[in-house]
Structures are given as structure tokens and as C-alpha cells.
A and B are shown apart, each in its own frame.
Chain A
Amino acid sequence: MTDVANRSAAASTPGPWPDTLTRVPFWAFQRDDVYAAEQSCVFRGAAWHYLCLEGDIPEPGDYRTTFVGDAPVIVARDSDGSVNAFENRCAHRGALICLDDKGKGKKDFACVYHAWTYNLKGDLTGVAFQKGMKGKGGMAPDFKLSDHGPRKLRVGRLHGLVFGTFSDETPELETYLGEEITSRIARVLKDRKPVVIGRYTQGLPNNWKLYVENVKDSYHASILHLFFTTFELNRLSQKGAIIVDESGGHHVSYSAIDRKAQTTNADYAQQKIRSDSQYKLADPTMLQGFDEFGDDVTLQILTVFPTFVLQQIQNAIAIRQVIPRSPTQTDLNWIILGYEDDTPDQRLVRLKQANLVGPAGFISMEDGCVGGFVQRGIAGAPDEQSVVQMGGDNAQSSESRVTEASIRGFWKAWRGLMGYRS
């Protein structure tokens, strides 16, 4: 189905980008050439990409492998404690240097193909038979190890998160994020020791940008996801807002208990005005959480352009890493977090609330399929456009969540890096 989408898209030429943030041409989700351009402009361009948690590689010699766009990447902690990231690509003939997801006690990485060897910083330290054998063969005398190596990423670390960027142009991580986004990452992670309590991947049948749009889209939440509504779990009135940073690319959507309105709700209940839902949870303990942030914020969804999500839904904390696989295939890596100092009861709450998210999540399973509905829906319409006009035409913060401002912000940042002009 999606192959048809690609073929029809490839047959037409992309027109100029619309002169507004409120329209997105569908070919942006379909074309192979757009996907290829994104790899260099966005994934190897001036943007930070989530690599791993500091806690994934606590000791010298610990490493993990991941992806930045299509590019395979190794993240390793060196004996000096530094965190280094470099392409998982041998400088010789391009083979993967490391074939494992993770490991410990590594002194160096040796490519299995011809045993070219790299230290934990990604420097080439050895070439098998460099001098040849018995005076014959080998590398030319002017061959220098230091002239060769996989490309290195700059590494930025913040509250236990490790980011990487291929580009020298990317501003420092905290500048890139800005104060508002940084402070809301701090809210969840600062001075706490997150521990990974679950990990799985959800394969999405759609372009990666359709998933990112979905995460930034607060408009759909109460419409597509009916779990809370059906079981009348949103009894407390909520207040909230959307924050879009200046670049447009990052956002925070949050909701908090509105203590003032709560009284009114209680009044309603007393008057028996509010009818009871037909559906009740047989075991409501899933949502009996604890207040760990002390600020009544029950939901905070935060994105860092282009593909990082930090989620707090009650006590369900997770990182979502978006990895594009092809124009129409995306991997969503879920990293479910607890904290080192969780009590057994608190940990149990997190295990129960993990049911809210992921491929089987009560409030997120729909996000796994809705991107595919769009990808299939637009198969014959590369030159048509989506309408992203809810809440106006700008990409600014808003007290209302009935807005698509953060989606417009994403496109603003994406166009900037891709060089699309209207």
C-alpha cells in the first residue's frame, strides 16, 4: 500500500513550499528524495538527537549502539569518564564496527572484517597487517592512522540524557533547547537517578514526521483517545497550556489539576448533575498514583526537535526515540523509566501505569495506527496539502490546547534546516 504511495509521489515534482505554516504538502511524507535530504539536513544537520541515558553507560568501557536517522552510532564511556559518540562504520570498507546493542568492559572496538581497531573515543588505533608480511604488501608508508576514522558526533549531556550531533553548526545543547524546555526537562530528571524499567520498540507504518506531528498535536488527544472519557477518569477539571520555543521545533504540552474548578466539580457531584458513566474500571488502582513533582501537573509531554519525546503521564515516565527507517516506516523506541529511590509501592504504580502507553497503551495505542491511516489516506494525493490551522497561523505558545501551534512550529524548524523556501 505504501509502495503505491511512494510511486505516485515520485511521479510528480514537488512544487514550492506553501507561503504559510498552515499547509503541509503530502509529498513531504512520501518522497524518497525528501527522505534522503532529511538524512543530511536534519539527522546529520544542525540538530541534537537523543542517544542514550548516562545510566545506560555508567562505567568506563560501557557502550550502547543506536541510530541518528539512518546512521548507526556507538556511544561509549571512556576511562576518563567522558562520553563519546561516533559512527558505527569502519573507516576501511564501511562495515559495522560493533554488532551488539550494548556491552561492558570494552577496551576497544575491532571491526570483524579486517580487524581495524578503534578506541573508546572512536580513534583508529590499529590496522591489521599495516606493515604487510615479510616485507611485502601492507599499507603505503605515508598511511597515517589519524587521517582515518568514523565521523565523530559532538556530545551534549543534560540531567542524565545524552544527545549527539554530527554538525559543528548546532548551538550548545542548552542554548538549542532554551530555558523553558530545559527547565521542564529538569522538572522530570534533575537530581534524580532514572532507571530503565522497560524497553520495547513499536514499528509504525508511516513517515516519521507523522508520528512527531501526532505527539505535538494536543487537539487530537480528547478526540482520538477515548479511554479517559469513556471511563470518566477526567473528573477533576484540568488547566493547561502549550509552550512552543522560539525555534518552533521544541514544545511542551501540559495539564494540571485546577484546584479552583475542583470545588465546582464537587458541587456538581453533590447536586447529582453529572451523570455516572455506564463504564467503570473494575480495578481503578491503575490510576491511583502519587504526587512526585508537587505541582499538580498530571501530564507533561515534551519534544526536542526533531525526534525526542519525554513523557510524564501521571507516574508513567518514558522517553520515546523516533528512528526513521524508510519514507514510510518508523521505529519508535520506548524507554520506560522509574527512579532509583522508588519504594516498592511506587514502582508497582509505574508498572500499572505503563499500561497507559506503548503499543498496547490504553491512551496511546491509537497513535500507533493513526499515522498509518494518514499514510494510506494520502497515497494518491502527493500534491494535496494538510490543513494545520487550528488556533491560528503562528507557532507560538498558547493557553489553549485546542491549537496546532506546535505542529506549525515543527514545520517551521524543519523547513529552516531543509532550506525550503516558499
Chain B
Amino acid sequence: MIARAQADYARCIDDDRLEQWPDFFVEDCLYKITTADSQRDGLEAGIVFANTRAMLRDRISALREANIYEKQAYRHVLGMPCVLDENAGGVRSETAFFVVRIMRDGTSDLFATGRYLDHYEIQNETALLKERIVVCDSSRIDTLLAIPL
């Protein structure tokens, strides 16, 4: 179930169906992109921080309507989810990822590697994200981070 949710999530972003991306989360959620250094040092502020699904929607409408950036796409490759804890409250898991960014001139770079620290809630046989902390291995982001990880 977790593996399916992960695969659907990655396809959604890579297929540029970003409007559907917030639907992977519950309304009262936490989504944060941070770095391994910040995570280790306990620094709270992320590169992206959202504590409601509405903030995730705002991120997508800003990308579509307001922000300016060169055309680009991601290809997510995910490792097997490692289930850390499973109980009535949901499932905690950690999943390694890497993301290749493809620019309009064909340049394909390894844009980010890291791990998803997830807390899934199971609703009607579907796993929804209550929390996803995206911990990037590197503290350096090249140029800009527009599309979510």
C-alpha cells in the first residue's frame, strides 16, 4: 500500500499533474523540504514549509500563475520504502529518492538525492500523507527549486 502511494506520488509530479499533488496529503498535514545538515542540527525552517493542504495548493497555483522559471521536468526514482513503525495511528516509513531534472535544452542533472520521512494515515485502503519531510542529502540547491520533490 505504501509502495503504491509512493509510486503514484512520483508519477503525479513527473507527469506534471501538479494540481493533483496536494491530494496525496490529508488536510491537516506537514510538508517540508529541508537538508540533512538542518535536520541534524534541529533547524526548523525548511526550503519549503506547509502545514495545511491549502498551502500545498497555493504552491501549485503560484507555480502555474505567478512564478517565472524555465521549463523543466523531474524524473523521480524511489527506493523501497522502509517501514519504521506501524500502528493504529498509521505507518511511519523512510524512502530514499533521487530526482533528475531535465531542462528545456536537454540538460539532465542529478538535481537532488535524499529521503522521504513519512507518516501515512490509512483511510479506506488508501495511504494518505499526514507528514512528509523531504530531507535532501546536500545543502546546495542548484538555481531554484520550483516543482516539489
Contact = CB atoms under 8 A, between A and B. Distances in A.
Contacts of A231: 62, 66
B47 to A, nearest CB: 5
B66 A200 contact: no
A283 B46 contact: no
A224 B142 CA distance: 20
Contact of A360 (B35, B48, B66, B140): B48
A279 B146 CA distance: 19
Interface in B38-53: 38, 41, 43-52
Contacts of B142: 203, 205
B33 A360 contact: yes
Interface string B33-73: 11101100101111111111011011101100111111000
B43 A360 contact: no
B144 interface: yes
A331 interface: yes
B126 interface: no
A101 B45 CA distance: 19
A372 B58 CA distance: 27
B140 A201 contact: yes
Contacts of B69: 365-366, 369
Contacts of A350: 45
B65 A368 contact: no
Interface of B is mostly: mixed
Contacts of A196: 43
A226 interface: yes
Interface string A286-311: 10000000000000000000000000
Query: Which applies to chain A's interface (DSSP): helix, strand, loop or mixed?
Result: mixed
A198 B45 contact: yes
A101 B140 CA distance: 14
B144 A200 contact: no
Contacts, number: 125
Interface stretch (A111-119, A174-182, A351-359): A351-359
Given A347-B44, A369-B69, A202 B140 contact: yes
Contacts of B144: 202, 359-360, 365-366, 368-369
A199 interface: yes
A202 B33 contact: no
A172 to B, nearest CB: 33
A199 B57 CA distance: 25
B62 A203 contact: no
A229 B62 CA distance: 11
Given A227-B66, A360-B47, A201 B139 contact: yes
B62 A362 contact: yes
B95 to A, nearest CB: 21
B63 to A, nearest CB: 9
Given A203-B140, A355-B49, A359-B141, A197 B43 contact: yes
A134 B44 CA distance: 56
Contacts of A230: 62, 65-66
A196 B34 CA distance: 14
B48 A355 contact: yes
A282 B57 contact: yes
Contacts of B68: 224, 226, 366, 369
B145 interface: yes
Interface string A125-167: 0000000000000000000000000000000000000000000
A101 B40 CA distance: 14
A359 B143 contact: yes
Given A197-B45, A350-B45, A355-B49, A281 B143 contact: no
A355 B49 CA distance: 6
B48 A200 contact: no
A202 B45 contact: no
B36 to A, nearest CB: 11
A358 B49 contact: no
Interface string A221-257: 0001011011100000000000000000000000000
A370 to B, nearest CB: 8
A68 to B, nearest CB: 19
Contacts of B37: 101, 199
Contact of B67 (A201, A203, A226, A281): A226
Q: In the A-B complex, list the 3 residue pairs whose CB atoms are closest, starting with the nearest.
A: A198-B45, A283-B54, A282-B54
21 contacts: A196-B43, A197-B45, A198-B47, A199-B41, A201-B141, A204-B143, A226-B68, A227-B62, A227-B66, A229-B66, A281-B54, A352-B49, A355-B48, A355-B49, A359-B145, A360-B141, A362-B66, A365-B67, A365-B146, A366-B69, A368-B143
Given A199-B41, A347-B44, A360-B33, 13 more contacts: A197-B43, A200-B38, A200-B140, A201-B141, A202-B140, A282-B54, A282-B58, A286-B55, A336-B45, A360-B47, A360-B144, A360-B145, A365-B67
